[in-house]
């Protein structure tokens, strides 16, 4: 079963026909059909064209384009068009524009100009979503609903009075009483005791550091406030068109939204991924975010946007070399995407994205970009059988948004250098290099199917989460600064690792961050030397084996890495975690899909009964094959090993 009723993999992109005269549409659909495009996302920013005046709808042009698409066999991921409210609505209700932390109201003239808590905005989106659903419920092109667009991209939070009222209601639901709130927020500190709900406000710009629990609750609230916008539209869509899947496009590993919660409210997880072609680690970072997408609902997801070549929003927008678009696209499919889609179909001639690449560039069809678009369409068709297949992983990385928000709260931690994304990558990269499949998981989902679970950091860890980790029967690895605070961001009694103390058999007596640029040597029991940066801890071991000790520096000779039974703890951040990781993988019996000999730069990834081999490196690589079979991309029969050129790929069926 695919994500939609379109058979095979989806191939297409964002299409903004309203930016072009209708004569161009005919050429568009003809070229789409030639490239094998079977779906386009339409209407994302079309509110001002679809509802030019209050309650007045102009659906004519959208009718025509949907008919035209359908006549050429192209389906629509139809947006509810609510990503940018129209000028008339904003001018009538200027209070619906978002306000920043310093109290400045942001102007119209860009996109996402809305306060997530604005009832005016929410009501208007729901009315438009209903009008869209009623008009297109039976349109044969409609296969998926696209709500909003990249929630939290520009507007992740709003500090206006309306948001303040919404935040207070959210706090009342969470705490019930002011006593409950005062105690959770620790308002005895710095004289913040509240005596009336009306005194509560968002964490606006203040003279000094703002109450960290207030900030944490604000993060929770802001994710929920946007989710409520999504859910309000979704309810209408499900009522009118129950059979059409609903999605909203995620932004890879995004700090502001708790995607575990969001994914549960969606039918299909979709993602926008823009790995930077100038970043040598782009491949591994993309893989990590794709694995998150695959893990969110434990089912295939959809790469809904990616760049054919350069983007237009970095300081320097480097294009993709020939072959890179294909490689990046196949990588998403390898990691569970049931399609390859782009921003956008035709390159714009005006607006902020006129230099953003497109499937069909300014130069038209006599361009290498267009030729690569055609070739990719053909490759995507060759992989049709991949659709619907899944991946099973033996290793999971723990990612919890509330803990992330706590860890990256501004101004009140021993060090601001612990960044969750980097910590996740430090474990993910060596797993990826070994061809080992990785899921992401919240700490309290059922972990019993894994052999290894790694929590690179779990700063905020509740007793329930600790119990779930303790009950996990496989090998557990816990990174530093974990089990520090509870859900209210209060330090656990007795200090870290709080509820993990018994499981790990130790306590952290002092945090000992390492200044920028300095390193700390760590030596394992068998003499392996590791270089640690950024963080160390003064550990007191109650009941655990010392795996490695600090060598030199203020913690000289003290335990740095420990093990108690199946649980390993790191009080430090080795630059290279491989020695620790390999021991754990060995003990758990986890190996990569191609065995130990995966050449550097080559990614190996199993999906269903297919093995994807992707060469991200600059040199040709010879990859040993675990079995003989057929390369779906070329039809070649392969056995023994295969040579893969830089940026080339093999999809082995055996
Ligand atoms: C995304 C957005 C698209 C387009 C694209 C350009 O963030 O959803 O509308 O702006 O970026 O890279
Ligand atoms: Zn607001």
**Contact assessment for residue 286 and residue 332, using Cβ atoms and an 8 Å cutoff:** yes
For residue 153 and ligand 1, the question of a CB distance below 6 A is answered with yes
pLDDT confidence bin for 603, thresholds 50/70/90: very high
Closest CA to 287 of 270, 301, 273, 299: 273
CA distance 445 to 320: 38
- Cα(122) to centroid(ligand 2), Å: 12
Q: Which residue has the tokens 């760590």?
A: 522
- Count of residues for the chain? 654
Closest CA to 458 of 407, 532, 415, 416: 407
Annotated active-site residue in 150, 162, 266, 603: 150
| Backbone conformation region of residue 559, classed left if phi is above 0, alpha if psi is from -120 to 50, else beta | beta
For residue 343 and ligand 1, the question of a CB distance below 6 A is answered with yes
Handedness of CA 175, 176, 178, 179 (dihedral sign): negative
pLDDT at 410: 76
pLDDT at 504: 98
- Cα(347) to centroid(ligand 1), Å: 13
- Cα(120) to centroid(ligand 2), Å: 11
Q: What is the pLDDT of residues 222-260, one digit of tens each?
A: 999 999 999 999 999 999 999 999 999 999 999 999 999
Rounded mean pLDDT of 434-452? 96
Instruction: Note the ligand closest to the C-alpha atom of 167.
Output: 2
Residue 194 pLDDT greater than 90, yes or no: yes
For residue 149 and ligand 1, the question of a CB distance below 6 A is answered with yes
Rounded mean pLDDT of 50-66? 98
For residue 305 and ligand 1, the question of a CB distance below 6 A is answered with yes
pLDDT at 1: 63
* 153 CA: nearest ligand 1 atom: 7
Mean pLDDT taken over the chain: 97
pLDDT confidence bin for 641, thresholds 50/70/90: very high
Q: Which residue has the tokens 């055609």?
A: 374
Residue 595 pLDDT greater than 90, yes or no: no
Residue 262 pLDDT greater than 90, yes or no: yes
Pocket test for ligand 1, best of 77, 256, 305, 351 (most atoms within 8 A of CB): 305
Pocket test for ligand 1, best of 249, 343, 344, 352 (most atoms within 8 A of CB): 343
Q: Is 509 a catalytic residue?
A: no
pLDDT at 161: 98
Rounded mean pLDDT of 114-135? 98
Please return the burial class of 409, using the count of CB atoms within 10 Å of its CB with bins 0-12, 13-18 and 19+: buried
* 149 CA: nearest ligand 1 atom: 8
- Cα(217) to centroid(ligand 2), Å: 16
Kindly report which listed range (118-122, 369-373, 411-415) carries the lowest average pLDDT score: 411-415
Instruction: Note the ligand closest to the C-alpha atom of 165.
Output: 2
Rounded mean pLDDT of 59-88? 98
Instruction: Note the ligand closest to the C-alpha atom of 270.
Output: 1
pLDDT at 382: 98
For residue 146 and ligand 1, the question of a CB distance below 6 A is answered with no
For residue 444, the number of C-alpha atoms closer than 13 Å in the C-beta half-sphere is 13
Rounded mean pLDDT of 421-444? 97
- Cα(160) to centroid(ligand 2), Å: 4
Rounded mean pLDDT of 359-384? 98
pLDDT confidence bin for 2, thresholds 50/70/90: confident
End-to-end CA distance of the chain: 21
3-class secondary structure per residue, 443-508: CCCCCCCCCEEEECCCCECCHHHHHHHHHCCCEEEECCCCCCECCCCCECCCCCCHHHHHHHCEEE
**Contact assessment for residue 233 and residue 129, using Cβ atoms and an 8 Å cutoff:** yes
pTM above 0.95, yes or no: yes
pLDDT at 411: 78
For residue 271 and ligand 1, the question of a CB distance below 6 A is answered with no
Local structure of 338: helix, strand or coil: strand
CA distance 117 to 223: 11
Residue ID of nearest Cα to ligand 1 atom 4 = 343
Residue 594 pLDDT greater than 90, yes or no: no
CA distance 509 to 539: 6
CA distance 616 to 601: 5
Rounded mean pLDDT of 181-204? 98
Q: What is the pLDDT of residues 466-519, one digit of tens each?
A: 999 999 999 999 999 999 999 999 999 999 999 999 999 999 999 999 999 999
**Contact assessment for residue 370 and residue 325, using Cβ atoms and an 8 Å cutoff:** no
CA distance 620 to 112: 45
Instruction: Note the ligand closest to the C-alpha atom of 100.
Output: 2
- Cα(342) to centroid(ligand 1), Å: 9
CA distance 469 to 452: 11
CA distance 145 to 80: 7
Helix 368-382 with 324-334: angle, nearest 10 deg: 30
Local structure of 241: helix, strand or coil: coil
pLDDT confidence bin for 528, thresholds 50/70/90: very high
Percent of the chain scored above 90 by pLDDT? 98
Residue ID of nearest Cα to ligand 1 atom 12 = 311
- Cα(153) to centroid(ligand 1), Å: 9
pLDDT at 529: 97
Please return the burial class of 247, using the count of CB atoms within 10 Å of its CB with bins 0-12, 13-18 and 19+: buried
For residue 150 and ligand 1, the question of a CB distance below 6 A is answered with yes
Q: Is 22 a catalytic residue?
A: no
Q: What is the pLDDT of residues 302-316, one digit of tens each?
A: 999 999 999 999 999
**Contact assessment for residue 621 and residue 643, using Cβ atoms and an 8 Å cutoff:** yes
**Contact assessment for residue 270 and residue 262, using Cβ atoms and an 8 Å cutoff:** no
CA distance 301 to 291: 10
3-class secondary structure per residue, 4-43: CCCCCCEEEEEECHHHCCHHHHHHHHHHHHHHCCCEEEEC
Tell me the two tokens of residue 522. 């760590």
Annotated active-site residue in 51, 157, 305, 372: 305
**Contact assessment for residue 113 and residue 97, using Cβ atoms and an 8 Å cutoff:** yes
Q: What is the pLDDT of residues 378-412, one digit of tens each?
A: 999 999 999 999 999 999 999 999 999 999 997 78
Rounded mean pLDDT of 558-565? 98
Local structure of 284: helix, strand or coil: helix
Q: Which helix (H) or strand (E) holds 540?
A: strand 537-541
Q: What is the pLDDT of residues 136-178, one digit of tens each?
A: 999 999 999 999 999 999 999 999 999 999 999 999 999 999 9
Rounded mean pLDDT of 360-388? 98
- Cα(584) to centroid(ligand 2), Å: 48
Bond into 344 cis (ω within 30): yes
Neighbouring-strand partners of residue 653: 610, 630
Closest CA to 297 of 220, 219, 385, 390: 390
Residue ID of nearest Cα to ligand 1 atom 7 = 150
Provide CB contacts within 8 A for 401, sequence distance 6+: 219, 223, 257, 258, 259, 260, 261
Strands 621-624 and 567-570, by their bridges, are unpaired
Strands 452-455 and 475-478, by their bridges, are parallel
pLDDT confidence bin for 24, thresholds 50/70/90: very high
């Amino acid at each position: 079963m695919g994500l939609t009723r379109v058979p095979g993999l989806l191939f297409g992109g964002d299409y903004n026909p309203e930016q072009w005269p209708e004569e161009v549409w005919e050429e568009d659909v003809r070229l789409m059909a030639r490239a094998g495009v079977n779906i386009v996302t339409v209407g994302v920013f079309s509110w001002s064209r679809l509802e030019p005046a209050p309650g007045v709808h102009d659906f004519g042009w959208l009718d025509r384009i949907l008919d035209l698409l359908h006549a050429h066999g192209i389906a629509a991921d139809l947006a509810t068009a609510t990503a940018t409210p129209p000028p008339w609505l904003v001018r009538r209700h200027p209070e619906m524009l978002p306000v920043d932390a310093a109290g400045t109201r942001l102007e119209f003239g860009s996109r996402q100009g809305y306060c997530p808590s604005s009832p005016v905005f929410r009501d208007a989106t729901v009315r438009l979503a209903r009008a869209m659903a009623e008009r297109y419920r039976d349109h044969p092109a409609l296969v998926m609903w696209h709500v909003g667009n990249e929630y939290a991209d520009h507007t992740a939070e709003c500090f206006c009075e309306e948001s303040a009222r919404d935040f207070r209601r959210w706090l009342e639901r969470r705490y019930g009483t002011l006593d409950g709130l005062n105690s959770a927020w620790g308002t005895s500190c710095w004289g913040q005791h509240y005596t009336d709900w009306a005194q509560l406000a968002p964490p606006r710009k203040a003279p000094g550091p703002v109450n960290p629990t207030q900030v944490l609750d604000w993060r929770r609230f802001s994710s929920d406030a946007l989710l409520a916008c999504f859910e309000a539209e979704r309810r209408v869509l499900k009522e009118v068109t129950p059979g059409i899947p609903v999605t909203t496009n995620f932004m890879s590993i995004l700090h502001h939204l708790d995607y575990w919660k969001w994914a549960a409210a969606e039918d299909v997880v979709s993602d926008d991924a823009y790995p930077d072609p100038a970043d040598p680690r782009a491949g591994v970072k993309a893989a990590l975010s794709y694995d998150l997408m695959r893990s969110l609902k434990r089912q295939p997801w959809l790469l809904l946007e990616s760049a054919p070549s350069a983007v237009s929003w970095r300081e320097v927008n480097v294009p993709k070399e020939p072959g890179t678009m294909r490689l990046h696209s196949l990588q998403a499919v390898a990691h569970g995407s049931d399609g390859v889609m782009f921003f956008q179909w035709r390159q714009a001639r005006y607006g902020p994205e006129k230099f953003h690449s497109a499937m069909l560039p300014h130069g038209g069809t006599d361009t290498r970009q267009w030729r690569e678009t055609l070739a990719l369409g053909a490759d995507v068709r060759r992989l049709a059988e991949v659709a619907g297949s899944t991946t099973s992983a033996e290793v999971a990385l723990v990612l919890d948004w509330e803990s992330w928000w706590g860890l990256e709260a501004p101004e009140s931690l021993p060090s601001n250098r612990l960044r969750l994304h980097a910590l996740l990558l430090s474990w993910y990269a060596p797993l990826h290099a070994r061809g080992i499949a990785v899921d992401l998981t919240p700490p309290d989902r059922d972990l019993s199917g894994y052999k290894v679970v790694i929590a690179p950091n779990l700063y905020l860890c509740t007793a329930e989460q600790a119990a779930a980790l303790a009950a996990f029967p496989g090998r557990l690895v816990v990174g530093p600064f974990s089990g520090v605070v509870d859900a209210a961001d209060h330090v656990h009694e007795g200090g870290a690792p709080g509820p993990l103390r018994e499981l790990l058999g130790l306590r952290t007596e002092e945090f000992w961050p390492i200044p920028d640029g300095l390193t700390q040597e760590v030596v394992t029991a068998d003499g392996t030397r590791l270089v640690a940066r950024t963080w160390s801890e003064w550990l007191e071991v109650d009941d655990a084996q010392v795996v490695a000790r600090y060598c030199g520096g203020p913690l000289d000779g003290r335990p740095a890495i420990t093990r108690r039974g199946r649980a390993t703890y790191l009080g430090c951040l080795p630059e290279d975690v491989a020695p620790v990781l390999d021991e754990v993988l060995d003990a758990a019996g986890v190996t990569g899909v191609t065995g130990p000999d995966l050449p550097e730069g080559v990614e190996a990834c199993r999906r269903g009964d297919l093995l994807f081999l992707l060469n991200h490196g600059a040199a040709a690589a010879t990859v040993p094959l675990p079995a003989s079979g057929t390369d779906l991309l070329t039809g070649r029969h392969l056995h023994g090993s295969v040579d893969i050129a830089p940026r080339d790929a093999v999809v082995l069926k055996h």
